[in-house]
Amino acid sequence: MNEERVQALTALEDRLGWYFADIALLDNALTHRSFVNENAALACQDNERLEFLGDAVLELTVSDMLMRKFPDHSEGQLSKLRASVVNEQPLAELSRRFGIGERLLLGKGEECSGGRMKSSLLANAFESVIAAMYQDGGFDRTAAFIARLFEPLIEKGDLSTIYKDYKTAAQEMCQILFREVPRYTVISETGPDHDKRFETNLMIGERVISTGAGRSKKEAEQQAARIAMEKLG
């Protein structure tokens, strides 16, 4: 790790308010698979394992916060609230707030395709940073960091109005109108690995209700659900 990289990571530590005992953890959290694929000689590791761990730490922490805040809520209500917090859009916004995208190590293809602006990539990077914090400082300290970010939202009591989970809303509407759960079918997948684009149909039985597009399957499904909500009114 050269001096320029260390300075960039140190600046991010200042913004996060978290100083790593081993800054290599943060470096790993910000190393995308595309960079590893294009720089095999560096023998570095991508952040996908950390993303997996960070997702679990976030879900556990937010679940505990919601349980404490809403002792009378059902499991279904708590799940919907959690989905409003731990999903792509709010996590991507947090990445943007801290400038995480600016410190990502990306391959040339991903860089050229605007990878630093992709919500899916930024959300994954935020989860990876959470995992790096967990490995660096343990669960209690990491949970306290997460709580500082999400408590203001949870205090409002209705997270679904802040970050709308269209898939959940579309499912509820389809069950009311058609007594069926919608299903999502990928109808096209185009572009190179670093710049994929998906098109997905939302279907009730054999009927296509709407079609959405996005840079990930999740994003395409959310778009299809949003359009379905608008059509169904």
Per residue in 48-99, pLDDT tens? 999 999 999 999 999 999 999 889 988 888 887 888 778 887 888 899 999 9
The domain in which residue 74 lies consists of: 3-161
98 and 155, same domain (yes or no): yes
Tell me which of 127, 136, 219, 221 is the catalytic residue: 127
47 and 133, same domain (yes or no): yes
pLDDT category of residue 158 using cuts at 50, 70 and 90: very low
Active site residue 151: no
Q: How does the average pLDDT of the chain come out, rounded? A: 88
Tell me which of 55, 88, 219, 221 is the catalytic residue: 55
Which one of 144, 161, 178 terminates a domain? Answer: 161
SS3 assignment, position 86: coil
Element containing residue 199 per DSSP (H, E): strand 197-204
74 and 178, same domain (yes or no): no
Judged against a pLDDT cut of 70, whether residue 157 lies above it is answered with no
pLDDT category of residue 32 using cuts at 50, 70 and 90: very high
* Count of domains observed in the chain: 2
- For residues 126-144, b (16+ Cβ closer than 10 Å) or e, as one string? bbbbbbbbbbbbeeeebbe
Judged against a pLDDT cut of 50, whether residue 111 lies above it is answered with yes
Active site residue 102: no
Which one of 136, 161, 186 terminates a domain? Answer: 161
Contact 225, 202 (CB under 8 A): yes
Per residue in 162-218, pLDDT (tens digit) is 445 678 778 888 888 888 999 999 999 998 877 788 999 999 999 999 999 988 888
123 and 208, same domain (yes or no): no
The reported pLDDT for the residue numbered 161 is 42
10 and 116, same domain (yes or no): yes
145 and 171, same domain (yes or no): no
Q: Nearest-CA neighbor of 120 among 24, 216, 7?
A: 216
30 and 145, same domain (yes or no): yes
